[in-house]
Structure 1
Amino acid sequence: MSPNQLGWLQGSLGMLIFAGSLPATRIAVLDLAPMLLTSARAVIAGLLALLLLAVLRPPRPRRSEWPAVALTAVGGVIGFPLLTALALETISATRALVFVGLLPLCTALWGQWRSGERPGTAFWLCAVIGSACVSGYALASGEPGHRLGDGLMVASILLCGMGYAEGASLTRRLGGWQVISWALVGALPLMALWLLLSWPTQPLAWSAGAIWSLLYVSVFSMLVGFIFWYRGLALGGIAAVGQLQLLQPFIGMALAALLLDESISAGMLAAAAAAAVCVGAAKHMAARQR
């Protein structure tokens, strides 16, 4: 298997793991305040990352690499989890997934700016069409949006695209699990303090669904998914492999239908098929460029 093919495979695994993040977050915020959820998931993942680093002892990032580690943490550890949790207090998981359709384009733009990638015109055309298919479908078919929730989701996508591009660029030098581990450990003191300040004074009354959702977003969304995703972006190209997330909203919508009783329509399936075509075309263009 070539490095490019391995990149697409690992990117696909990361995307599938991430697809459950917003439905799980929506379940968790029914019992946990957004600040508590964000800090708790970061602390749990940070402690696991600290254990990984202590056992495997990889080289520390160079001084010049720490700013990129910090941006990775701001985007993936703090910004995206917090803003999506706040947004999901006012909008449904299905509507929030609308905005994930813009993430591949945002990631590609960050990758071009920060990592020097230069996809061709045909690639950008596929990326724009794919984003338009996903977002256009969901905006046309979804419920009326809440202005604050929509704005929070847009901000979360901008930060997430930055975190993906920075993390993928570092992965080429440090390795995928090392990048997310250093980002989580770097943010751990702040997030631990945040957890203490946001811990509720009244007795906890979390449902089993909220607890399992917290564990999912902590272990898989915050750590395991990033290991596959950053490695996939590094091997297959940030802009190209990032287009896999055109499929993430539809997988997430299917999970939302299963877990939250949200409906799936024929239009959703048609838009998913169009997005899949755009992903395939982007992969073909990236392979030709290579």
Structure 2
Amino acid sequence: MRAKSSATESRTISVGTLAPDRAAGPDGPAGGTTTSSFGTAQAALGVVAFSLTFPATVWGLEGFGPWSLVAVRSVLAAVLAGGCLLVLRAPLPERRHLPGLAVVAAGVVLGFPLLTTLALRTSTTAHAAVVVGLLPLTTALLSALRVGARPSRAFWAAACAGAAAVAVFTVAQSGGALTVADAYLFGALLVCAAGYTEGGRLARVMPGWRVIGWALVLSLPLAVPLTAVALAHEPVRLTGHGVAGLLWVAAGSQFLGLVFWYRGMAAVGIPRASQLQLAQPLLTLVWSVLLLGERLTVAAPLTAVAVLVCIAVTQRARG
């Protein structure tokens, strides 16, 4: 009965959103151009959702304290994810997948949001964007160690060049000054890359929405008491921006964006999908102008061209 159930599960994943393990290697799928293009499109949707995270967090901080904002967003996202898991009757994750889900919960659900929110109290969104500028390279490095990915030299050269371009641009926007927020941003970079790597690995054997869904549910035992303590010690001032920011980081960034992201990584491989995030800091800066009224310098389009060239090279490079 167990063998029959496993076979049915594999067929379901193959016909549905993802290919099973045998259809995808650590560097990308074994399928055709259609699968690769569809996976790239899903990863790109995740990047668009993530690009709104920092501006939405700034809005959220207008009405909530940093600890309250992170705790409440985690609980709301977990309730949304848990409802989807119940309605769709998703099976419980296998015991062997629990450590990986715990890494996703610690890095993506709690660690990255908390550290970046603490940083954004004193840092601009432009400066904080250096995190997501360096995240693709860090994720590719961790995936090479964790899942045996071996991208080509051209891939690494383009990835390093793109990360360097984004880093120089975002640091220049902040005047090159190093602040206490940099410690939070560096920590956020590491924990998020670990969560992305584990999530991308798990999304090869279960649908991406279940990966982030179960990770969110696993975070509830910590998120619920943290919410109670934070709300008791931090003042809450409900404003339009505050509520809108909270709802977006909970539903858009914490759940829906990660669903698309993990599905994309499963389809095209962790290293190649991660390079799409090179465009995220620039998208964040655009949203910062439109939503926060920040000024965009003439260096932005020049950096955008350099980043797009790097993305094109990484998408064509083979492991």
Q: Structure 2-normalised TM-score?
A: 0.87
Partner of 2:308: 276
Q: Per residue, is there more helix in 1 or in 2?
A: 1
Letter in 2 for 1:228: F
The structural deviation recorded for 1:121 is: 1.1
Q: 1:266 to 1:198 in 2, by over 3 A?
A: same
Structure 2 residue corresponding to 1:196, chosen from 228, 232, 242: 228
Q: Which moved more, 1:30-39 or 1:239-248?
A: 30-39
1:115 corresponds to 2:140: no
Q: 1:58 to 1:273 in 2, by over 3 A?
A: same
Partner of 2:25: none
Note the 1:209-224 alignment, pairs <5 A.
Answer: 209-224=241-256
The structural deviation recorded for 1:142 is: 2.2
Structure 2 residue corresponding to 1:102, chosen from 114, 134, 138: 134
Partner of 2:40: 8
- Tell me the percent identity: 38
Structure 1 residue corresponding to 2:161, chosen from 104, 129, 139: 129
Between the aligned partners of 2:136 and 2:172, the Cα distance in structure 1 is 20
Structure 1 residue ranges (4+ consecutive) displaced by more than 4 angstroms after TM superposition? none
Between the aligned partners of 1:58 and 1:115, the Cα distance in structure 2 is 26
Gap regions ≥5 residues in structure 1: none
Whether contact under 8 Å (1:38, 1:81) holds in the other structure is yes
Whether contact under 8 Å (2:66, 2:117) holds in the other structure is yes
Whether contact under 8 Å (2:131, 2:188) holds in the other structure is no
Gap regions ≥5 residues in structure 2: 1-32
The structural deviation recorded for 1:203 is: 6.9
Q: 1:144 to 1:186 in 2, by over 3 A?
A: same
Query: 1:19-73 CA distances to partner (integer Å, 9 max, x unpaired)?
Result: 0001111221233111101100000000011111111122222111100000000
Please say which structure displays the higher CA radius of gyration: 2
Q: 1:208 to 1:146 in 2, by over 3 A?
A: farther
Letter in 1 for 2:208: G
Whether contact under 8 Å (2:212, 2:259) holds in the other structure is yes
Q: Structure 1-normalised TM-score?
A: 0.96
Secondary structure in 2 aligned to 1:184? helix
Q: 1:59 to 1:94 in 2, by over 3 A?
A: same
| Number of matched pairs | 287
Secondary structure in 2 aligned to 1:101? helix
The CA RMSD over aligned residues, in Å, is 1.3
